[in-house]
Amino acid sequence: MSRSLDGGSQGAEVPASTAPERELTTPEPAAAVDPVIKSFRDEIVALDVRLLGIVNARIEAVEKLRRYKAQRGIEFLDPAREAWLAQYLKRVNSGPLSEDGLAELHRFVLDLVKRELSDD
């Protein structure tokens, strides 16, 4: 799977797994000098990179499940399973993400994965 560098459908294509690592410069030079701000920003970037990896791994896992189900004539979408997962995540969420925030995040991730896989 490849993605364009700008996230759109045009532009240079780079395989998602081999995209070059780049260090971004911050647009606020004064804030970049502050070591506390830099430390927080570095932590946030590292978390975002982990989040990206997790989302990509979820897409790959769901694609494998979709293929497995298709080979056996099983319907891909399972609303009961999605409802179960929403309830399970609600039980294990220890915050600070609110229940409403969790519901929004879960729905977004499900919709995103379905959209990504619909292009195949």
Q: Where is pLDDT greater, at 34 or 109?
A: 109
Q: For the domain 30-118, what is the CATH superfamily, name and number?
A: Chorismate mutase (1.20.59.10)
| Contact indicator for 2, 14 with CB cutoff of 8 Å | yes
Q: What pLDDT score does 4 carry?
A: 37
- Domains of the chain: which residue ranges? 30-118
pTM: 0.71
- Distance from CA of residue 5 to its chain's centroid? 17
User: Half-sphere exposure of 22 toward its Cβ, with a 13 Å CA cutoff?
Assistant: 7
The one-character DSSP state at 34 is -
Give pLDDT tens digits for 24-80.
655 666 655 789 999 999 999 999 999 999 999 999 999 999 999 999 999 999 999
Phi, psi of 73 (to 5 degrees): 70, 25
Closest Cα partner for 16 from 24, 25, 7? 7
Q: Tokens for 52?
A: 């990206």
Mean pLDDT, residues 2-16 taken together: 40
